[in-house]
Amino acid sequence: TYAELQALKTRQVHFEAEGDPGEHPVRLSLMMNSNGNGGHRIVVKARQDGQGTRDLVGHTPYDPQAVGAILQNARDALFDCYFERDEFGTVTDAQRDGPPAFTDKNGKSLAQFKRDLGTLAIQGSALFSLAFDHVKTDGSGLTPAIWQRELIKTLRESAVIQITRVSSANYVFPWSLVYEYPLITAERGEWRVCKIVNEEWAQDGTRQQPAGETHKRCKYHDEPWHQKNVICPYGFWGLKHIIEEPQSIQDSPTVADVGRRVHFADKLDLAVSITEDPALVNKIATHLGNMAQLPEIRFVTPQPATGWKSLRPNLKAPEIVYFLCHGEADEQNTLDSAYLSIGARDNDPDHRIYAVGTLGAWIRDLVDGPDTDAWAHQRPLIFINGCHTNGLRPGHIVSFASAFTSLGACGVLGTEVRVPISVATEVAESFFKKIAPPQQMTVGEALRQLRWELVNKGNVLGLAYSLYGLADLKVETDPAGP
């Protein structure tokens, strides 16, 4: 209910390094649930600016089966950003079988960056229409058209957007790819890339000015030509806003029950699990060496876990659990198909961490199971970094988020689409630097910043990551002491 969502109205996050008050309201709440007739809907509430205006409330029907093609198209468009596009923005099958088209610094040229932005914007605009074109305004007297225009005004600047779902709704929606500027098909000849891209990104795809700076909206946002048919990085929700998807605890399904702090003692203890894919072992070894150099990070064990038997003790009472693995789907197991592949990629069940059959069953293990009191106190953070895989399907990552939330985790950061190992390791190293002392950013801030770090060199793959937790989730010293 929205009474439950009111329990946490603001988030302690920053959108800019200077002059930011550090506290922002949850400007938009979206709840994905049942419509009471066996179907589904998205319930919407947008908080206005408080100057005599009332909140925008409505709901829109949502059929997970019927929209499958649209969601898959968006997912495929993001996947194709690994490769080089031709002048029409397409990627051939031969290119998809080849290596990613990134520079040695995980960047892309300006021309390729523009093509990626344009392709994603088309899919993102379709996602916006899917979510809001058929909104029912719940007795407000507003037409759907007026309601949509008011929503755009509400999200004029960077905001916190909250996505919640009932426990039975494991379907997903790529909210980070939603694109807010209208792209009118009949006016396609007028579509243009925003001036900010040509002015601030060099030919090699790196952003020259302002280097690394992330404004709350595009500096051309108020220009008449910027209101439609424009391809702008700031049009994507995942870049402009901070999106949170907190997992509710099934026995007490309120957002207020979701943890906001990961407690640690003197250093952040990482329980690490990795794939032993021969094609990746050298890059993973380099990555772990880089991670070991972070002064506030400590590995729980000298060697990462490569199977359930070595992982299980590390899950007993963790602080942060980090999977650098393949996400796979077991086609023979229709009830519990999603699993994380660690160690060798074979049929050994020790190397397959299923959401239900492994994690769910382990909860009930009274001998070697989790220390549930420690989980409830420490509220661990889980990072599922799925590299070089396209086995997981939409909704699979939610299965793991739900399983870890049942254990007591306060958040899960993960991706459901293939991410090259070079990008996956860069994201992880940047992320852990940001959330660890001395920076101690909130997870929502860290995710938004690392997305911009990639975009500032022409790479949009930061949009592949989603946060299943509160935006102002962060690590802090345990007040109870060591």
Distance CA 375, CA 419 (A): 29
Whether the CA torsion 108, 240, 319, 367 is positive or negative: it is: negative
Question: Whose CA is closest to 154, among 73, 245, 45?
Answer: 45
Q: Encoding tokens for residue 370?
A: 């989790």
Distance CA 27, CA 15 (A): 14
Whole-model pTM above 0.85? yes
CA distances in angstroms from 313 to 55, 280, 318, listed in the order given: 48, 25, 9
Q: Encoding tokens for residue 375?
A: 């989980």
Phi, psi (deg, nearest 5) at residue 397: -65, -30
DSSP 3-state of 236: strand
pLDDT at position 253 is 43
Residues of the chain with pLDDT under 70: 1-8, 34-40, 48-54, 166-171, 210-214, 248-258, 334, 388-395, 479-482
Q: Encoding tokens for residue 459?
A: 């790479």
pLDDT at position 246 is 87
Start-to-end Cα distance in the chain: 38
Phi, psi (deg, nearest 5) at residue 275: -80, 150
pLDDT at position 203 is 96
**DSSP structure string for 1-22:** -HHHHTTS-EE---SSSSS--S
pLDDT at position 65 is 73
pLDDT at position 319 is 96
Question: Whose CA is closest to 219, among 250, 252, 196?
Answer: 196
pLDDT at position 54 is 65
Which amino acid is it at 120? L
Domains with residue ranges and CATH for the chain: 2-69+77-244 (no CATH), 258-477 (3.40.50)
Distance CA 229, CA 239 (A): 18
Distance CA 67, CA 57 (A): 23
pLDDT at position 211 is 52
Distance CA 163, CA 131 (A): 13
Q: Encoding tokens for residue 74?
A: 């968006």
Q: Encoding tokens for residue 105?
A: 């610094």
Residues 6+ apart with CB under 8 A from 53: none
